[in-house]
Structure 1
Amino acid sequence: MPPASGSALSALARRDPGAERIFDEIAFGLGEADPYPRYRRLRETAPVLLTRDGTLVLTRHADCEAALRHRFLGRRGEVLGFGVTALPPDEPALALRSVQDSMLFADPPDHARLRRLVSSAFAGRHVEALRRAVAARTDAALRALAEAPGADFVTGFALPVPVQVIADLLGVPEEDRAWLVPRVLELGAALGPRTAPGVRDRALAAQADLTGYLTGLLAARRAEPEDDLLSRLAASRADDALTEAETVGACFLLFGAGVETTSHALGNALAALFAHPDQFDVLCRDPSLAGVAVEELLRYDAPVQADARRVLEPTAFLGIDLEPGRTVLALLGAANRDPARHEDPDRLDVTRAASHLAFAAGPHSCLGAHLARLELEVFLRRLVTGYPRCAPAGRPVRGPGLALRRFTELPVTLAS
């Protein structure tokens, strides 16, 4: 069997009932305020855990990165990243169906074909060209929050601003935004566990509405191209580079992944700074640290805490033979606080030159990482320069989920 990819892997896989109990506590302690002590206990007890159902659970940075880059570990059929483990055909929460036609759940060679067609839009120069638009939307949303002390940061900023930014990237007409934004948010509300039937039904309706809208808009761009990503996706149909379902799926993925990850990162970053006012003061004194602080905040409390891979071909990895269909689960939240990677990893230090797996690694690394970083950097700069006396205005509420770490409510008061 081919050897595992990567180097400096930490330990051989083993079963450990005590460690598995810790993992169960992590898996079922959905939305707990601080999962990091459990991550630490699991990493110290069994850094490479083989569970009773055959899942390989990883907690160290080197192992997680090796798994994410392994050529025989892919995403085909894997939906754990969205907090669910199956998609029954009669389940109404099929906001994921369109995403299934996207690169998120594709593996080579289809993955490379799908990713290549949209990756150019996320290149550094294209993302940087959005800075002015990101700054304008950030300023407007922060002003609105400042005028409503105690307002919810999640619904007032962290969700709508990334939706608007992705709409800017795609080229959605401004006059359609009031209709589009709430439907994208309805769709995103279904991407998680413990979803109520009403939420699923609204997500299904939103998916149908958005599918019809995007199909029509793509047809319009095909007839009259503009300088936007939708036009480039539409043009790719001319030589059958993308099917119609793949094209719509790519749009859904951009809204879903681009909004969800960035939204959660914004909320986590603000909450971390509230919990560490000394670090907020460091940024206020030197806003030029915003870019460095983004990486540390992503490391400290990543929006995506777990990333699953499915074994595609028989392979050996960390001392165990893996057959196709087995799951390898990389606990990114644990990896980002691996003491072998960073000294004193449980301490937030916005001056630290941090490295992390918040955007995963390998072929399925986050396509919108550059854009998320830009949105976070602009937010931090505008916050510390314009509203240095911002403060929490109520009890924050964490949302459930093993994979996605997020707030559903984060009341704030912004003041200059």
Structure 2
Amino acid sequence: MGDVIRAPWNAYFVTGFDACSKVLRGRNWLAPDFAWQERQEDARQWDAIATQEMTKTLARLNAPEHTCQRRSLGNLFDRSTIQRLTPQVEEHVTRLLDDLAEKLRWGEADFVSTVSEQLPISTIGTWLGVPPEDYAHILEITHNQVHAQELLPTKSELAVSEEATLRLRAYFTEMVKQRRANPSNDVVTGWIHTWDAMAPDREAADEILYRLTMFVTIASLETTATLLSSMVSLLLSEPGRWEWLQEHPGYIDAAVDEVLRYDPPIQINTRVAADDTVLAGVPIAKDAMVHVVFGAANHDPRRNENPDAFDIMRTGTHLTFGGGVHYCLGAALARLEARTLLTQLLKRFPTLRAVTAPSYASRLVFRRVTSMNVAI
């Protein structure tokens, strides 16, 4: 249909790889922040509490606010941080695969609830100092909150998302408060010191700290869990693929990248035009929304030959982690979790097989695998 297609509302879908890359990396394409929302004819559609709360997070900010907050985090998962986290991730994977092995002794097991959803919350929870007894609570409210980030959420979905948003605010506000009272040598305490020096008062600092801590947590969970589930599903879907990768472990990183290209956990990201412009030959007016469709871009045959084939040997590229100033903060961590899990799975479960196809939540923007049974 073309690289840029008109949507049924005042927006465009962007599907071509080069056009999507231009939007993600271009300085004249902005996140739909509060200033943009206030300029819309019907600003009421943005008044939902959950929508308002997400607009305050890093993903919806533009310069200079985005620049300031992102710099305060530093390079979250640089090489040295990944090296420090690797033994912890390996321990989490070993523990979760022990649980999987125990369940598989009695037949089938749901890979999603046993492993895929547990590894990201264990990893980010340990890093931020979230008590393990709170993991289930965080997962539940994250699943419910994500409705606010869909393209066209219904009133009932926004109501569910609103309740979850308020629970997230309460949880992470209390977390920052407790960390202030009991500082330690951890990431959140470091952020507190940084923002105490930057913000005009403690109340303003704590508001920013709540948003950063909440955003980093929820951004790390469903996306990585879906990547892990999709990875196992795709590698088990064709006879011989699992066995081949066992014999060629040097291609594990390539397999993870092909999963990211083939089935990105986030399907759509929205930007708005900062000025009247032309994108792939299509005139776009200032403030018009464009929806970058990651799956379509990654399957553009001009960028990846035979794009609908899952090919571990592929040397193509993808946009799954975005680009430009909003490039995914947790890309390196997601790769670490996927690589570590796949490495151990191949060694411990050489005869692993899928019993049921993945079941998905009914969503457009954030894919979520809800269940997938495996056996040995």
Q: TM-score range by the shorter chain?
A: 0.7 to 0.9
Which has the higher mean CA deviation after the structures are superposed, 372-381 or 340-349?
340-349
TM-superposed CA distance for 1:236, in Å, is 2.0
- Alpha-carbon separation, structure 1, partners of 2:48 and 2:338: 38
Q: Which residue of 2 aligns with 1:61?
A: 17
TM-superposed CA distance for 1:195, in Å, is 7.6
TM-score (norm 2): 0.86
Check whether the contact 1:153–1:411 (CA below 8 A) recurs between aligned residues: yes
Paired residue secondary structure (1:408)? strand
Q: Which residue of 2 aligns with 1:219?
A: 177
- Percent identical residues: 26
TM-superposed CA distance for 1:199, in Å, is 9.8
Check whether the contact 2:110–2:373 (CA below 8 A) recurs between aligned residues: yes
Q: Which residue of 2 aligns with 1:378?
A: 340
* Counterpart AA for 2:92: R
TM-superposed CA distance for 1:409, in Å, is 1.2
Structure 1 position 166 matched with structure 2 position 128: no
Q: Which residue of 1 aligns with 2:112?
A: 154
Equivalent residues in 2 for 1:213-362, closer than 5 Å: 213-241=171-199, 243-362=205-324
Equivalent residues in 2 for 1:100-111, closer than 5 Å: 100-111=55-66
- Alpha-carbon separation, structure 1, partners of 2:13 and 2:289: 9
Distance 1:282 1:199, change over 3 A: farther
Structure 2 unaligned regions, length at least 5: 37-42
Distance 1:87 1:408, change over 3 A: farther
* Counterpart AA for 2:145: A
| CA deviations over 1:335-392 (Å, ceiling 9, x no partner) | 1111111222211122323321111111111110000010010111011111111111
Paired residue secondary structure (1:329)? strand
Paired residue secondary structure (1:243)? helix
Check whether the contact 1:300–1:346 (CA below 8 A) recurs between aligned residues: yes
TM-superposed CA distance for 1:315, in Å, is 3.0
* Counterpart AA for 2:189: S
Paired residue secondary structure (2:269)? strand
- Alpha-carbon separation, structure 2, partners of 1:405 and 1:210: 21
Q: How many residues align?
A: 358
Paired residue secondary structure (1:136)? helix
- Alpha-carbon separation, structure 2, partners of 1:107 and 1:273: 38
TM-score (norm 1): 0.78
Structure 1 position 134 matched with structure 2 position 92: no
* Counterpart AA for 2:113: T
Structure 1 unaligned regions, length at least 5: 1-44, 80-84
- Alpha-carbon separation, structure 1, partners of 2:52 and 2:241: 42
Distance 1:63 1:206, change over 3 A: closer
Check whether the contact 1:264–1:407 (CA below 8 A) recurs between aligned residues: yes
Check whether the contact 1:188–1:256 (CA below 8 A) recurs between aligned residues: no
- Alpha-carbon separation, structure 1, partners of 2:129 and 2:195: 18
* Counterpart AA for 2:367: R
Distance 1:318 1:163, change over 3 A: same
Distance 1:390 1:251, change over 3 A: same
Moved over 6 A (4+): none
Check whether the contact 1:135–1:378 (CA below 8 A) recurs between aligned residues: yes
Distance 1:399 1:216, change over 3 A: closer
RMSD over aligned CA atoms reads 2.6
